[in-house]
Chains A and B, each alone.
Chain A
Amino acid sequence: MNGGRREMRGRNLIQARILRGVILLLFGVLVVDLFILQIVQHDYYKGQSLQNRQVQIRVKAPRGRFLDREGRVLADNVYLADITLPRGAVTEAGPDSTLAKLLRWFSLPQDETLDRLREQKEAGRPRLTLVANADMPRIATVEERRRELPGARVEARASRRYKHGPQLAHIIGYVGEVRPEEVGDEDDHRAHQPGDTVGREGLEAAWEDELRGESGLFLKEVNAVGRVVGSRDIPLWPVVPGGDIALTVALALQESLMAAMDGRPGAAVALSLPSGEVLAAVSNPTYDPNLFTRGISSREWNRLLDDPQHPFLNRLVQATYPPGSPYKIVTSLAGLKAEVVGKWTHFEPCWGSYRFGNRNFRCWRRSGHGDLDHAGGLVHSCDVFYYQLGLRLELEQLRDVAHMLGLGQETGSPFAAEVAGNIPDRVWYDEHYGPGRWTRGVLLNNAIGQGEILVTPLQMAVLTARVAVNDSDLVPHFRLGGDDASSSAGRPLPLDTGDIEWLRRTMTRVVDMGTGTRARLEAIEVAGKTGTAQNPHGEDHAWFVCFAPASAPVVAFVVILEHGGHGGAVAAPVAARWLTDFFAWRERSSTGGA
């Protein structure tokens, strides 16, 4: 052994001790770290490992379907596949992240897509939808390359399908995604969660609770890429599917009414008698509710919103019109009730106009009707006759009969947006014009259904139906076998039965020989009343209200064509066309159905 070697060994003794010390220290740190992880924090990580692989999956209840009265499906659910990512995916960076890979493979516009995902994240969605309603190649890509795409999932989503979209848009309405303020408690799986759908309009909104059902909760085993493994789904809460709802509407009659309306703006509704079941109801123009479930573009949305025809307006219950001449039914009944007029009473003859104070009130027929009795006044819709009748009445007497027949108040339809309209009385005029600042001249306008009177088409249908079957409790029903269907055997109108009988006979003559001859059917007697309502917006609205058969009514029908012109010329043919189809349908279903 030489000196150098000894020196080296001596130095190495210190180095060996240092090295041994450092290595032992580092291994010591490692062991302590493992001790902390595996012993001290074991419970936490055990929980994490459970959480890793057991996920609580909220299973949405399938929304109830809408059926027509003959069991045809009007609205149901279709299942679409979405490609979704976990919420954390947006903040992720790096070229090998799941999101980056999918953006590349699907050639998605990066900034736009990221904005969309961030929006969803802010809305509180549990998972973010990268591709909604994905096509097969994309679904296959995600399914086959799962291992390269941790977090990505293909998820089925139920989407509402309106099979006869525009036909029933205003009745059924549509669904939309819940708004942040409607979202319930995060831990309550049955409450609305972000991404859920709720009824937004129409019956979808009105019967939301029943259609929605109850979401369930399941415990599932998943692997690292989110694929559900094993067959052990532990149900924590069962799914309660939403209930199907059968409407009183018959699809065939709805289609025929759409055809009869021929796209003209306005509304029409048919009630089955004596039940009050709505057989068909159209509000024109309409829209396609499927736009909302497929995702409507903002351009399309704005175009519909800005449309001067207001396609979103449900004219059946949301639009109010002056009733015009069909209101003479109210005036006649009020006059008979107040005994200011008899069934055969003659007033002064009609020479085309009537002078009240210093103003001339014109009859629609400039040449005049000559001498008419009460029935003649109604059959020919003579305004001068009704001016004189009106002057013999008080506003309250008119109002009471109007209310009795369902005008000026909500019909009790399920539509949240339904409006009441207006039947003015003295209080109303005092409020709007000031006491003493209006004259009895308003009675002349009120008597012929003009002035400040405003009604909805559905109210007019109720009026027609109540008169037709002498039932003061008749209300429209949209639901087959609905909760209040039993109440249809209602009380008769608090009027003289003879008066009602006289009115019905007279309305038959309107169609037979008066203003409503265009509504005549070959084999069946129709009772009706035409109307040509003046309005400040332009051409007159054309009304026609009727029921048939006149002697034993089974259907009441009301139609208004906005700015259509003469009710007798324009609206009555719509009634004739639909009633023909209706009686054919009735024949078919009574022979074939029973």
Chain B
Amino acid sequence: MTQDWLPRASSGTILIAAFAALCLFSLATLWSVTEGIRGPYEITDSGVAKAVFWRQAIWVVAGWLALEVARRTSLQFFEESAPLLYLAAVLLLVTVLAVAPEIAGARRWFSLGPLRLQPSEPAKIALVLVLARLFSSYASRDRQLLPVIGSLLLATIPLALVLREPDLGTSLVYAALWLGAVFWFGLSWVFLLSVGSPLLSAIFNFYSESVVHQAWPWGAYLLVLMAGLTVARFRLLESFLLVLANIAAGIGTSYLWDGLKPYQQERILTFFDPTRDQFGTGYQAIQSKVAIGSGGLFGTDYLQGTQKGLAFLPERHTDFIFSVVGEELGFVGALLLIGIYMVIILKGLQIARAARKSFSSQVAIGVTIYFAFHVLVNISITTGLLPVTGLPLPVMSYGGSNLVVSAFMLGLLVNIGSRTFES
């Protein structure tokens, strides 16, 4: 018997309402960010131009159009054109690396007059669609390995290209989309263990070697792993290979670490100890925590945030927009915003599970993972749970590519939802 978490009938209405709420939330916050400080203090320029607000207002209209297009186009069209869209996306990613001007040390944008386009954003849609197409065509067969390897290849190409830009945040999104798609497609525990445990091993080894300079965390992890394998009665050969893979991943991490540039190492180390670098990378993390923490239960009130207004918060209109919400609207405002995202994500899961066609289901889960990953990681960065890496908050953060792509994703979800429930 299926279980429902949210009312079915109005799924499209709920999602569109959530989108509208996010747009309003975003515009209100951007208005505040561009206002400077008030109150007992002299009004001071906040350092973010008012134009940011007006541009975003135009992007909201464009996002609305994108949502409508995604909602009204037949899903079959997306299924058929998925490989083509994917190829186009990869081509754009190659082109951007070749011809785009370097901005702030990275090649991520095409400049079209006043517009800056970031092809790695629409590539997220293309990746969701092409993975859905691949897995759906294997949905009723018993073969697992072929689609998994194929999907890995499909995901790795844009991931590698985006890493070259360099854009670590976006490449992590691709990885998450792939992982979500594979998971939804269905996989054995053996597979999950053989992919997941070396990853954990790498993290533990790094923590041992580069942060605490002691061997025991990694050693303890390996012991726990071996104990777990024994308890779960894994076959000897499998266990042996797994532990070997773990050791290799651990040692490989050391080599990878040594290959990093000093400032990259510093950035990662600063995550573990932000006070290392109060005026560099750690600065953002510390200031964001101060802004959010000073908000308290109800915040400083709209337009009254001093950390935002006095420009202590870097990137306050883009990646760190959540910190402004946290400061001005407090815990209550933050919960409200998170609640809106929760609605989208839970609705997405529901639609994915209820979808009649495998392709639709895979697309829906892709959209859900897209939102969940972006929101979780972005907010965790602002509260200092994760190291700083560039990742926007969907719809909220200033930026056209992000808004249009998020809107399009939502449109796909509405599209799938309406076909599932309304027919």
Contact = CB atoms under 8 A, between A and B. Distances in A.
A29 B384 CA distance: 13
B183 interface: yes
Interface in B271-313: 276-281, 283, 287, 289-297, 306-307, 310-313
Contacts of B376: 23, 26-27, 30
Interface of A: 2, 4-5, 8-9, 11-13, 15-16, 19-20, 23, 26-27, 29-31, 33-35, 37-39, 41-42, 44-46, 48-49, 52-53, 86, 88-89, 91-98, 147, 150-151, 221-225, 229-232
15 contacts: A12-B353, A13-B353, A26-B376, A27-B338, A31-B338, A33-B383, A34-B335, A37-B289, A38-B296, A48-B293, A49-B293, A53-B306, A93-B280, A97-B279, A230-B42
Interface in B337-358: 338, 342, 345-346, 349, 352-353, 358
Contacts, number: 173
A119 B77 CA distance: 69
B293 A42 contact: yes
Contacts of A53: 306-307, 310, 312
Given A26-B376, A44-B293, A38 B183 contact: no
Contact of A37 (B140, B293, B342, B352): B293
Instruction: Name the prevailing secondary structure of the B interface residues.
Output: helix
Interface of B: 2, 5, 37, 40-42, 44, 47, 105, 139-140, 180, 183-184, 186, 262-263, 266-267, 276-281, 283, 287, 289-297, 306-307, 310-314, 326, 330-331, 334-335, 338, 342, 345-346, 349, 352-353, 358, 361, 365, 368, 372, 376, 379-380, 383, 385
Nearest to A46: B294
Contact of B326 (A13, A38, A44): A38
B184 A38 contact: no
Instruction: Name the prevailing secondary structure of the A interface residues.
Output: helix
Contact of B278 (A31, A35, A88, A147): A88
B44 to A, nearest CB: 5
A315 B314 CA distance: 62
Nearest to A37: B293
Contacts of A27: 338, 342, 376
Given A12-B184, A38-B331, A223 B383 contact: no
A224 B311 contact: yes
B329 to A, nearest CB: 10
Contacts of B358: 5, 8
Contact of B41 (A23, A31, A35, A221): A221
B263 A94 contact: yes
Contacts of B105: 96
A12 B41 CA distance: 56
Given A30-B338, A34-B383, A223-B310, A45 B289 contact: yes
B371 to A, nearest CB: 10
B279 A42 contact: no
Contacts of B349: 16, 19-20, 23
B368 to A, nearest CB: 8
B177 to A, nearest CB: 13
A430 B273 CA distance: 74
Nearest to B41: A230
B266 A93 contact: yes
Given A42-B293, A45-B293, A45-B294, A92 B279 contact: yes
Contacts of A45: 289-290, 292-294
A310 to B, nearest CB: 48
B178 to A, nearest CB: 15
A92 B287 CA distance: 17
A231 B41 CA distance: 8
A96 to B, nearest CB: 8
Given A12-B184, A42-B293, 18 more contacts: A8-B139, A12-B186, A33-B385, A34-B292, A34-B334, A38-B331, A45-B294, A48-B290, A49-B294, A52-B287, A88-B277, A93-B280, A94-B277, A94-B281, A147-B47, A150-B283, A223-B44, A224-B313
A46 B279 contact: no
Given A8-B139, A42-B294, A91 B44 contact: no
Given A26-B376, A30-B380, A230-B42, A150 B140 contact: no
A97 B280 contact: yes
6 tightest A-B CB contacts, nearest first: A45-B293, A4-B140, A49-B294, A223-B310, A94-B263, A224-B312
B74 to A, nearest CB: 21
Given A23-B372, A34-B334, A150 B310 contact: no
